[in-house]
Amino acid sequence: MKKPVLTIVVPCYNEEEVFLETARQLTNVLEDLQSEHLIAAESKLLFVDDGSQDRTWELIVGESEKNPFVTGVKLSRNFGHQRALLAGLEAAKEYSDCVISIDADLQDDVSVIREFIVKYWEGFDIVYGVRRSRETDTFFKRATAQGFYRFMRKIGIHLVYNHADFRLMSKRALDELSRYGEANVFLRGIVPLLGFRSTKVFYDRKERFAGESKYPLKKMLAFAFDGMTSFSVAPIRFITLIGFLSFFLSSIAGAYALIVKLLGRTELGWTSIMISIWLIGGLLLMSVGLIGEYIGKIYQEVKRRPRFAIEENLYALRMKTRQKERVNV
């Protein structure tokens, strides 16, 4: 087999505090892999600036002038982690045989990248990085994340347990991914649907190197909810079930009320009416809201809006000039 061209895609949102260290560590990884003849010389680090407000983009440009491995893509505004990652994967796959995605904050162990590549050589198209322990996460984050995986599995969405977006994908897996045109990108849900030969590599997750999490609770909840409603209609089915159940219960209650009336004991009333009005009202509002959520999703999908916009692409620029140079020589 020919040595594969590897591109490591790193989405960055306000990561000026960690960027230089991340670039340094990943450069070392690429250098080591090259000296072991595991990857081709054209392998690259592709940093995707997701509309940062700090100096992240300047740092990427500066580094790309000094470090031949480093290149970058700048999105026109903040599109969110998943779309930034997607933009990077799409940009990278044209010039690569395999692509690894990793967060900028060095929480994922960069030394297992070598194992990813070894698995690629063994013929795997998708390699999932899986966290062995979550000791460095706060108790709250750990509990919510684990609850999330369990719940998703219950409603029929098969995610790889304790896998975030640290993974290797081959070019053909990425080509397949590009055919999934949904606006609600939830890569962790889509990638297992692609099929292909896949495997897992285990590692220990570390603390964020510096800076703070770009996923506050609000974003995390939105992410979980999006993941759920863009992959499963189980919640809607659940509501239908509740509807049937409450219909059944209210017919029993109705029969009871009728019997009581026929027996001439009609002074009961206020409590039961109040309770049922509130209960039914609540159920209805909840149902309408949830169905509305799905309609909202459909609305977003039918618009077919582009999922990200690239403002500057150092990567394509560099690859194109290199191709021209080759033609001229």
The least CB distance from residue 208 to Mg ion, in Å, is 5
Task: Answer with the entry of Mg ion, ligand UDP, none that 124 interacts with (C-beta below 5 to 8 A by kind).
Answer: none
Q: Which does 4 bind (CB under 5 to 8 A by kind): Mg ion, ligand UDP, none?
A: none
What is the strand order of the sheet 70-75 is part of? 198-203, 126-131, 163-170, 98-101, 6-12, 44-49, 70-75, 310-313
Min CB(295)–ligand UDP separation in Å: 25
Strands 163-170 and 310-313: unpaired
Note the residues at the interface with ligand UDP (CB under 6 A): 11-13, 15, 50, 78, 80-81, 84, 103-105, 107, 213-215
Closest approach of ligand UDP to the CB of residue 204, in Å: 14
Q: Which is nearer to Mg ion, 50 or 105 (CB)?
A: 105
By three-state DSSP, how is residue 132 classified?
A: coil
Q: Minimum CB separation from ligand UDP for residue 169, in Å?
A: 17
Contact with Mg ion (CB under 5 A): which of 64, 107, 162, 229?
Answer: 107
H-state helical runs in the chain: 16-35, 56-66, 81-93, 113-121, 139-154, 171-178, 187-194, 217-229, 234-262, 270-303, 314-328
Stretch of 5-13, 77-85, 95-103, 140-148 lying at the interface with Mg ion (CB under 5 A) = 95-103
50: partner contacted, choices ligand UDP, Mg ion, none (Cβ within 5-8 A by kind): ligand UDP
Is residue 15 at the binding interface for Mg ion, with CB under 5 A as the rule? Answer: no
Which residue pairs, CB below 8 angstroms and at least 24 apart, start in 281-287? 283/242, 283/243, 283/246, 286/239, 287/239, 287/242, 287/243
The answer to the question of residue 105 lying near Mg ion (CB under 5 A) is: yes
Of 74 and 205, CB closest to Mg ion: 205
Question: What is the per-residue DSSP string for 48-105?
Answer: EE-S-SSSHHHHHHHHHHH-TTEEEEEESS---HHHHHHHHHHHHHTT-SEEEE--TT
| Least gap, CB of 12 to ligand UDP (angstroms) | 5
Check binding of 108 to Mg ion (CB under 5 A).
no
Q: By CB under 5 A, name the binding residues for Mg ion.
A: 103, 105, 107
